Chain A
Amino acid sequence: MIRFDGVTKQYPDGTVAVDDLSLTAPTGKITVLVGPSGCGKTTSLRMVNRMIEPTRGSISLDGQDTGRMPQAELRRGIGYVIQHAGLFPHRTVLDNIGTVPRLLGWDRKRTAERSRELLERVGLELHLGDRYPAQLSGGQQQRVGVARALAADPPVMLMDEPFSAVDPIVRDQLQDEFLRLQDELGKTIVFVTHDIDEAIKLGDQVAVLRVGGTLAQVAEPSYLLAHPADDFVADFVGRDRGYRALQFQATPRLPLRSERTVVLGERPEGSAAWLLVVDDDRHPLGWVEPARIGGRAVEDSDLHRGGTVARAGGTLRGALDAALSSPSRRGVVVDDSGSLVGTVLAHEVLSAIEDTDRPERDEDDPVHGGAVAVAADEA
């Protein structure tokens, strides 16, 4: 657990980057610091491993004051990932990953083994290990950056906009893999981003900071979307927050209807305006208008593929989106193996939404409402 206690950073010229920040990043969870530029999020992060020293207040790591720990040793025990990866250009990928183990005095053999293990763990092929950073794509470099931070298996990781310099598709992929990795590793992570979508996607707990370095609100993402503490947070969280909040709400029992289907390559029957086309395993492929193809067999080129597919037991956002994006207005729902379960209409999803409760508001503490439960050592 990382705990900020009344932490302030004031620069010699008088600028206050962080103002009296008190915050707890619980063990094994991802705490995201988010806010506009100038809100002190990066400064806050860098004070944890003392890249920046706080002016006032203290930061403790599992109850130990970091200000009293030797700087280099403190840092070697904390994984550190930054925006442009910051790989050492003169070292191979494997040597980059092995940096901290070597600093800690591991021998070459053990370091090399560990580096190779991590290379695979972050989804890179082994043959990339002998390359130099300049020979990698931005996304690959970022993966190496994560691997380097994980090398000595530190319990705590600091990540400063690690995915913001890569293109959106790669970013999405990296985020997904990061979450998968975190499921396995359960690190205590402080993650800085300016992107509220990223914050909501990744955070177990999201801390919104405002310019001047004060904490505006800290809460679970769903709570933040439902109950922004003030206009600033509401504004920052964005206009479509109501819709986005749906992604945190699991689908209740939706009234699924059974859908008439036609297998690709067969003739459609009946008089329906839209028919769902599936393959032999009942995986939905797309929609077809029987009237347009005039009684011949359905060909691949007849398919309308516009619709998204929702997973049964997935989120309300997924279900609603499937309905909204479907050419027939009937949202396709599949099971975990991708086979058709049924379809759902938008108004049925909306009724389901109306029947679910919004996240509870904690009346006592608007700023810390809904924050991830912290063990009793909070007191």
Chain B
Amino acid sequence: MASSGGSALVIGSLFSWLLDPAHWSGPDGILTRLLEHLWYSVLAMVIALAIALPLGLWIGHTGRMRWLVTATNAARAVPTLGLLFAFALWLGPALRGNLAFLLPSTVVLVLLAVPPLLAGTYAGVEAVDPAARDAARGVGMTGWQVLRQVELPCALPLVMSGVRTASLQVVATATIAALIGLGGLGRLLVDGIAFGDYPQAAAGALLVAVLAVLLEGLLALLQRRLVSPGLARTRRPVGGSRNDDDAAAVEANARLPVGQGGIPGGSS
């Protein structure tokens, strides 16, 4: 394992590693790893959204089964690393080929993405102004129209917070999944450490960090596009007049693992 003599020297070797064209192409190249990483992440997010979004909307809309949100939140205490290893040991031997790595990893990624998505969606729908909901029914919207035209758009800021938290969680955990044999950028990192190739490990780390930050920026932009400006104004605790309602909202935000991510991207 490369011990860093002088940082400058290490940074130099990191960049020469990164700038070497041979490291970018080929089946083990950075580009392939990047695409793999994105593919695993998108796959897990799509599955998690398909589960958490309808479930969260339903819980928020009907107010039934709220314990499920609390229960999934409690799952935060489970160490991701342990979860990955446990599923790999349990499912891996029964599967063949690439699936032996892909399935356990995807299951864990989905398991980790569901809680923030569920909490965000549920909390978002729950937080819709009861007067607005009452008015929506009162002007003659059907249950579906209330959900589609009022509850979902009003819940969107918190839903998107959940999406951002979940995405970072997934990208970060996909990195660690290299430990159980999955591809992706984590390979550079994990192999670099294993073979004492610190420049490669550092390059992998840098690439993962950049990917996470870019993704966060992209999702933030998407959120700005999707969420009505009428809602954005009231969300900010800064500026304008504040009252006890806002304080409660802030407190609720802090309690939930949503917002700027109750779980750091690093939790994996």
Classify A-B as touching or not with yes or no (CB < 8 A).
yes
Spell out A's residues near B (CB within 8 Å): 49, 51, 71-77, 80, 82-92, 99-100, 103, 132-135, 145, 148-149, 158
Identify which of B85-93, B131-139, B205-213, B216-224 touches chain A: B131-139
Looking at the assembled complex, report how far the CB atom of A321 sits from the nearest CB atom of chain B, in whole angstroms: 37
CB atoms of B138 and A49 under 8 A apart = yes
User: B234 contacts the other chain (Cβ, under 8 Å)?
Assistant: yes
CB atoms of B231 and A89 under 8 A apart = yes
User: B267 contacts the other chain (Cβ, under 8 Å)?
Assistant: no
User: B62 contacts the other chain (Cβ, under 8 Å)?
Assistant: no
CB atoms of B135 and A76 under 8 A apart = no
CB atoms of B139 and A80 under 8 A apart = yes
Looking at the assembled complex, report how far the CB atom of A139 sits from the nearest CB atom of chain B, in whole angstroms: 16
Residues in A neighbouring B231, C-beta threshold 8 A: 89-90
Contact A91-B230, Cβ < 8 Å, known A84-B131, A86-B135: yes
Residues in A neighbouring B132, C-beta threshold 8 A: 86-89
Residues in B neighbouring A135, C-beta threshold 8 A: 230, 233
Residues in B neighbouring A86, C-beta threshold 8 A: 129, 131-136, 138
User: B145 contacts the other chain (Cβ, under 8 Å)?
Assistant: yes
- Inter-chain CA distance A74–B153, complex, in Å, is 25
Contact A87-B135, Cβ < 8 Å, known A103-B140, A132-B233: yes
Output the residue of B140, B145, B230, B231 with the most chain A CB within 10 A: B140
- Inter-chain CA distance A98–B133, complex, in Å, is 16
Residues in B neighbouring A145, C-beta threshold 8 A: 135
Contact A72-B230, Cβ < 8 Å, known A86-B131, A86-B134: no
CB atoms of A88 and B140 under 8 A apart = no
CB atoms of B137 and A99 under 8 A apart = no
User: B229 contacts the other chain (Cβ, under 8 Å)?
Assistant: yes
Looking at the assembled complex, report how far the CB atom of A340 sits from the nearest CB atom of chain B, in whole angstroms: 46
- Inter-chain CA distance A72–B140, complex, in Å, is 4
Looking at the assembled complex, report how far the CB atom of B89 sits from the nearest CB atom of chain A, in whole angstroms: 47
CB atoms of A134 and B140 under 8 A apart = no
Looking at the assembled complex, report how far the CB atom of A83 sits from the nearest CB atom of chain B, in whole angstroms: 7
Residues in A neighbouring B136, C-beta threshold 8 A: 86, 88
Looking at the assembled complex, report how far the CB atom of A231 sits from the nearest CB atom of chain B, in whole angstroms: 35
- Inter-chain CA distance A83–B129, complex, in Å, is 13
Looking at the assembled complex, report how far the CB atom of B265 sits from the nearest CB atom of chain A, in whole angstroms: 29
CB atoms of A89 and B145 under 8 A apart = no
Looking at the assembled complex, report how far the CB atom of A91 sits from the nearest CB atom of chain B, in whole angstroms: 7
Looking at the assembled complex, report how far the CB atom of B135 sits from the nearest CB atom of chain A, in whole angstroms: 3
**CB contact between B131 and one of A71, A77, A82 (< 8 Å): that residue:** A82
Return the CB mask of B217-261 against A: 1 if under 8 Å, else 0: 000000000011111011000000000000000000000000000
Contact A80-B154, Cβ < 8 Å, known A89-B230, A91-B230, A134-B234: no
Looking at the assembled complex, report how far the CB atom of B139 sits from the nearest CB atom of chain A, in whole angstroms: 5
Extra A-B contacts (18), CB below 8 Å, given A75-B139, A89-B234: A49-B138, A73-B140, A75-B138, A76-B140, A82-B134, A84-B129, A84-B131, A86-B135, A86-B136, A89-B154, A89-B228, A90-B231, A103-B140, A132-B230, A132-B233, A134-B234, A148-B135, A158-B138
